[in-house]
């Protein structure tokens, strides 16, 4: 599962992180479902595999299952 994490500080930062185990996917999904998005971000960044930082102009081509901020989680409906 891939997550695009968006940190809303100035300047805005975007990180593509891969969750490489089923256990980690369950942990992060549980935190998102429990509205503990900050903890989900911390778990994904610390336990997941960092792939790359994403520039704004690259966003249309990024394939992620979840777009995660501290305020919101959007599941990708396109299946990308």
How far apart, in Å, are the Cα atoms of 42 and each of 5, 39, 48, 58?
Answer: 10, 5, 10, 23
Domain annotation covers residue 44: yes
Domain annotation covers residue 28: yes
- Residue that has been written with the tokens 């989900």 in this structure: 40
**6: closest CA among 47, 40, 33, 48?**
40
**Domain limits for position 39:** 2-75
Q: Among the residues of the chain, which ranges form H helices? A: 22-33, 37-47
Separation CA 19–CA 45 (nearest Å): 9
Domains identified in the chain, total number: 1
pLDDT-derived band of residue 80, with 50, 70 and 90 as boundaries?
very low
Q: What is the pLDDT of residues 12-69, one digit of tens each?
A: 899 999 999 999 999 999 999 999 999 999 999 999 999 999 998 998 888 899 999 9
């Amino acid at each position: 599962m891939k997550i695009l994490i968006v940190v809303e500080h100035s300047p805005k930062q975007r990180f593509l992180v891969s969750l490489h185990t089923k256990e980690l996917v369950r942990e992060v999904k549980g935190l998102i479902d429990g509205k503990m998005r900050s903890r989900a971000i911390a778990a994904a960044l610390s336990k997941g595999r960092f792939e790359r930082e994403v520039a704004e102009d690259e966003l249309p081509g990024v394939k992620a299952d979840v777009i995660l901020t501290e305020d919101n989680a959007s599941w990708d409906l396109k299946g990308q």
